[in-house]
Amino acid sequence: MEKYDVIVVGAGHAGSEAAAAAANMGMKTLLITMDMTKVAQMSCNPAMGGIAKGQIVREIDALGGYSGIVTDKSSIQFRMLNKSKGPAMWSPRSQCDRIKFSIFWRKELENIHGLDFWQDSVIKVLIKGDRAIGVETKMGVVIYGKEIILTTGTFLNGLIHIGNKKDEGGRISEPRSYGLSEQMEDLGFRVGRMKTGTPARLDGRSIDFSKLVEQKEDPEGGQFSYMPRKEKKLKSRSCYILYTNPIVHEVLEKSLDESPLFNGTINSIGPRYCPSIEDKVVTFADKDKHQLFLEPEGEYTNEYYLNGFSSSLPWKTQWDAMRRIKGLEQVKIFRPGYAIEYDYFDPTQLYHTLETRIIKDLYFAGQINGTTGYEEAAAQGLMAGINAALKVKENEPFVLKRDEAYIGVLIDDLILKGVNEPYRMFTSRAEYRMLLRQDNADYRLTEKGYKIGIVKEERYKRVVKKYEKRDEVLKFIEGYSVVPEEINELLERKGTSKLRQKVKLRDVLLRPQVNLNDILECIDTVRNKIDEDTVNNKELIQAIEIAIKYGGYINREKSMADKLKRLENIKLKENIDYKNILSLSTEARQKLERMRPATIAEASRISGVSPADISVLLVHMGR
């Protein structure tokens, strides 16, 4: 085959974003997958977004990725989570048609110029000296490339567990990938094992929905992509809430000796925040019920996903336990849940570009780095694809800092702290979550994407225009004064004290009971000052209101981030001999020597490097 600029191995969420990014940046790109019908397959729950994950999808979209666009096209339910809390916690989530999600992703990829496909399994990365130069496939095809990105998901030596039954595979009924783990270990990479799981799929025709609590989508709808809103094409579907009970727990407990998690068959670590139902029953023995969510798999299908009931117990035990749940007394299943073990590589062996430290021109992205979740994988794939393209162009790498994006937090955590369990993003992992809101991802990232060549000019101009209009309206509000007779009726209706004299409109909007839409409906003078396009732009009105109501918090976090940037500017020399700086703790010497941080700030975030160790480094540097 001809030589490629970038070769991407695996067409899951990470691989799809990586291939799209590289090709859109002008690289001749090849995407290799074992099955062309499973592009960006939703292996587990049929949804995108959620707490912190929704922020990541919006960041991907702001940088010119496709996850948000495909999610919107295949959405059957959109909800904004955590609306009762402040905007830093708001997280969009969309239920999707699982089959159409994959179809739409493939359609997007096939329409990208310069992106080729090859259906096969990669068994070896070709190495010359300390560089990756291509791949060899199971069919014996050798393909050369300048940059190689591995996004193998759960397929590396995948092993599926259902009770005492074991089967080799990367997903149910799909073969595992072999050869790469052994090769990487021979090259010096640290290889580990992790475990994840998925619940049974249920037949909706056998469920009594009248006994369940219906959960509809938000009345006002919504979307992930910042591009112009389009009319929703797919039919809306509801989710449902249901609960386990003591009888369900009793059925599960009786079969724990048949659970691979408890009889010693599985030794690898599973996701802490998405445990199996048998693990929850044992860990939270004092709980007499656990909340579950019944989620439709598509627009018209009768197949449902039982979120919260992941299990590796025998199929009959799973079925018996489910039939003790209210509403599922007569339930039939399409297939049982299962656990899967797979290989991953210690992510501390990577640079922040996701290029490996051991082999140049080789990148890892997705679950191969010890993460869990479509969104985390897609973000890594996007960044690996961008950096591979930039390296081919001999341009500076693209790295996002912790105060710039959740993607920056994700990659920084992986590279500097490593993982001892499948990594999942949460808002609590971000120190500056007031800055990293879902509503302003375009403001934070689109210009950066435009400068490196992945964001198109049309998208960039839309963002510039949007925030110019925001600033124009903010300036008007800052200078406009309201008199009591204009607004007291509204204030009384909202249950807040009336005005006695003229005040600035901004001060009125600082009251929690009053929002900008109230003002626009109440005061014609203000509405007339703001053009109709702005008034009807829900996204822009929200951006204006957040800037006013939360300005103090936002400015405080900016100040904190600026202080930290001083440490980011203190570079560490590449040739520092950490093992001979005896004032450092033993653990700090070992980890600094192995990970070679680029700055003082990076060193401070490495697990096991204490503030005292940072002081020693500053003294060593003459500061």
By CB atoms closer than 10 A (0-12, 13-18, 19+), residue 46 is buried
- With tokens 């599960």, the residue in question is 252
Residue 228 pLDDT class (50, 70, 90 cuts): confident
Contact residues for 164 (Cβ-Cβ < 8 A; gap 6+): 258, 260, 265, 314
For 484-533, the pLDDT digits (tens) are: 988 899 999 999 999 999 999 999 999 999 999 888 888 888 888 787 77
Whole-angstrom distance, CA of residue 145 vs CA of residue 127: 11
The pLDDT score that the predictor gives to residue 429 is 87
Whole-angstrom distance, CA of residue 154 vs CA of residue 552: 44
264 — phi, psi (to 5°)?
Answer: 90, 0
C-alpha radius of gyration, the chain, whole number: 26
58-78 mean pLDDT: 97
The pLDDT score that the predictor gives to residue 566 is 79
Contact residues for 40 (Cβ-Cβ < 8 A; gap 6+): 11, 12, 13, 16, 70, 101, 102, 105, 106
Lowest-confidence pick of 45-54, 453-462, 473-482: 473-482
Whole-angstrom distance, CA of residue 403 vs CA of residue 430: 8
Query: What is the distance of C-alpha 211 from the center of its chain?
Result: 33
Strand, coil or helix: 91 = strand
For 270-298, the pLDDT digits (tens) are: 887 788 999 999 989 999 999 999 999 99
Reply yes or no on whether the pLDDT at 337 is more than 90: yes
For 160-191, the pLDDT digits (tens) are: 999 999 999 888 888 888 899 999 999 999 99
For 92-102, the pLDDT digits (tens) are: 999 999 999 99
Whole-angstrom distance, CA of residue 519 vs CA of residue 187: 65
Q: What is the pTM of this model?
A: 0.92
The pLDDT score that the predictor gives to residue 316 is 96
Residue 307, beta-bridge partner list: 293
The pLDDT score that the predictor gives to residue 385 is 98
Whole-angstrom distance, CA of residue 586 vs CA of residue 610: 11
Residues 82, 86, 89, 91, CA torsion sign: positive
For the chain, the straight-line distance linking the first and the last C-alpha, in angstroms and rounded, comes to 55
Which of 45, 82, 38, 28 minimizes the C-alpha distance to 433? 82
Reply yes or no on whether the pLDDT at 623 is more than 70: no
435 — phi, psi (to 5°)?
Answer: -80, -30
Reply yes or no on whether the pLDDT at 264 is more than 90: no
> What letter does residue 148 receive in the DSSP assignment?
E
CA-CA-CA-CA dihedral for 355, 356, 359, 361, to nearest 10? -10
Residue 339, beta-bridge partner list: 161, 197
User: Is 371 in contact with 380 (CB distance < 8 Å)?
Assistant: yes
Lowest-confidence pick of 305-319, 374-388, 457-471, 548-562: 548-562
Reply yes or no on whether the pLDDT at 578 is more than 90: yes
For 527-549, the pLDDT digits (tens) are: 887 877 777 788 888 999 999 99
Mean pLDDT (the chain) is: 93
Lowest-confidence pick of 52-66, 197-211, 418-432, 602-616: 602-616
144-172 mean pLDDT: 93
Residue 57 pLDDT class (50, 70, 90 cuts): very high
Most confident segment among 6-10, 230-234, 471-475: 6-10
Which of 10, 28, 27, 31 minimizes the C-alpha distance to 19? 31
220-247 mean pLDDT: 90
Reply yes or no on whether the pLDDT at 622 is more than 70: yes
Whole-angstrom distance, CA of residue 294 vs CA of residue 304: 6
Which of 347, 330, 420 minimizes the C-alpha distance to 150? 347
401-430 mean pLDDT: 92
Reply yes or no on whether the pLDDT at 345 is more than 90: yes
547-573 mean pLDDT: 86
Strand, coil or helix: 166 = strand
For residue 409, the surrounding DSSP H or E stretch is helix 406-417
